[in-house]
């Protein structure tokens, strides 16, 4: 048995420990930030599904929704992005794009960056 093969398991363990430490200090990202700046390029009733995909890219998920009983079912494209750090803080961006009969019908957008912050002590109302 050569000396190098004895060191190899110890090196592997050390490498795994270093990777664990580094990953614990880093930021975890899931998904791709939605291209919300391109939403203005889409026109309800005129832009096609292909236009949506060209401007926003491939969604992370697909689904369907019925907004009211009398309304037709709309297809939904889901775009999401989550960023979390080692302290447990997470940031979320979520874009739902509605498609009706192969045409862009609108969107719903959420980002935790847009949440109202608590007012300072003694202050009233939202900023």
Predicted TM-score (pTM) of the model is 0.66
| 114: DSSP letter | G
Q: Which of 42, 40, 39, 49 is nearest to 101 (CA)?
A: 49
Question: Taking the C-alpha atoms of 115, 92, 59 and 78 in order, what is their torsion angle to the nearest 10 degrees?
Answer: -60
Rounded CA gap, 108 and 74, in Å? Answer: 13
Rounded CA gap, 44 and 103, in Å? Answer: 7
Distances (CA, A) of 81 to 12, 43, 69, 75, 103: 33, 24, 31, 20, 24
pLDDT given at position 116: 46
Rounded CA gap, 14 and 9, in Å? Answer: 9
Residue in this structure with the two tokens 């297809």, named with its chain if needed:
75
For 23-61, how does the pLDDT look when each residue is reduced to its tens digit (9 = 90+)? 555 777 888 889 999 999 999 999 999 999 999 999 999
Express the helix, strand and coil content of the chain in percent, nearest 5 each.
30, 35, 35
For 60-114, how does the pLDDT look when each residue is reduced to its tens digit (9 = 90+)? 999 998 888 878 899 999 999 988 877 777 788 899 999 999 999 999 998 876 5
């Amino acid at each position: 048995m050569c000396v190098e093969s004895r060191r190899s398991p110890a090196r592997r363990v050390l490498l795994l420990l270093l990777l664990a430490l580094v990953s614990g200090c880093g930021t975890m990202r899931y998904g791709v930030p939605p291209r919300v700046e391109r939403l203005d390029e889409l026109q309800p009733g005129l832009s096609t599904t292909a236009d949506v995909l060209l401007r926003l890219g491939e969604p992370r998920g697909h689904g369907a929704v019925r907004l009211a009983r009398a309304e037709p079912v709309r297809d939904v494209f889901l775009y999401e992005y989550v960023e979390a750090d080692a302290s447990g803080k997470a940031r979320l961006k979520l874009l739902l794009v509605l498609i009706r009969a192969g045409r862009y019908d609108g969107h719903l957008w959420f980002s935790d960056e847009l949440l109202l912050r608590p007012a300072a002590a003694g202050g009233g109302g939202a900023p």
